[in-house]
Chain A
Amino acid sequence: KQEVTQIPAALSVPEGENLVLNCSFTDSAIYNLQWFRQDPGKGLTSLLLIQSSQREQTSGRLNASLDKSSGRSTLYIAASQPGDSATYLCAVNSGGGADGLTFGKGTHLIIQP
């Protein structure tokens, strides 16, 4: 059974720093990996989707990489801002899209002004 782990569970950094969030998964047979952002009491906002054949995806200050063979993904946030404060969730799709995602428990990120 697929298991997803996110490290660290919580992170607090000063504004302006570059930071890396980590995600690992146990079964490398995935279709894709998706990074989400969740604000308190809200739903999930999709940030980046990386297909299994891709190595990385970029959107603005965000860059996500995927090393499927080692079961790892990283989310790089450049020049962090207080508005980046949220919980970041990693999820893998192992079932062809229609069988649901397996989620990590998330990294709670606080950017200090």
Chain B
Amino acid sequence: DGGITQSPKYLFRKEGQNVTLSCEQNLNHDAMYWYRQDPGQGLRLIYYSQIVNDFQKGDIAEGYSVSREKKESFPLTVTSAQKNPTAFYLCASSIGRANTEAFFGQGTRLTVV
């Protein structure tokens, strides 16, 4: 089945620790995105990538880093510099050209303990 796979579903992080969230897609999409969702707020864009080996900061990139070494994969690292990392993280992809539909994974819930 084609789609976007995020892992793990739940992740716990200790203070000062870096963690990496995985996002893999087999839709052959060029563009991939990371969003953060907090209760009572809309989704906010963290990073996006239009093509392999290229990515751009979104609205709330501070404390996060990404890589795009393969078309299928767009991992997100939450660093210790992110002061409030507890949230629901969603990965998405699209063909990348204008007027194309975005598809989302099932999300990773990150909790700081």
Contacts and interface: CB of A to CB of B under 8 A. Distances in A.
Q: Which of A89, A99, A105 has the most CB of B within 10 A?
A: A99
Interface string B6-17: 100000000000
B94 interface: yes
A44 B104 contact: yes
B106 A34 contact: no
Interface string B86-105: 00101010111111111111
Contacts of B97: 96-98
Given A4-B42, A45-B104, A97-B94, 13 more contacts: A32-B99, A34-B102, A36-B104, A41-B88, A42-B106, A44-B90, A46-B102, A46-B104, A97-B100, A100-B58, A101-B45, A103-B43, A105-B40
Contacts, number: 75
B42 A97 contact: no
B107 interface: yes
CB-CB nearest 8 A-B residue pairs: A103-B42, A44-B104, A100-B45, A43-B106, A98-B50, A103-B43, A96-B98, A43-B104
Given A103-B42, A105-B42, A106-B42, A97 B107 contact: no
Interface of B: 4, 6, 30-31, 33, 35, 40-45, 48, 50, 56, 58, 88, 90, 92, 94-107, 109
A1 to B, nearest CB: 9
A101 B98 CA distance: 12
Interface of A: 4, 31-32, 34, 36, 41-46, 49, 51-52, 89, 91, 93, 96-106
A57 to B, nearest CB: 11
A42 B100 CA distance: 22
Contacts of A97: 31, 94-100
A27 to B, nearest CB: 15
B105 A100 contact: no
Contacts of B31: 97-98
A91 B92 CA distance: 13
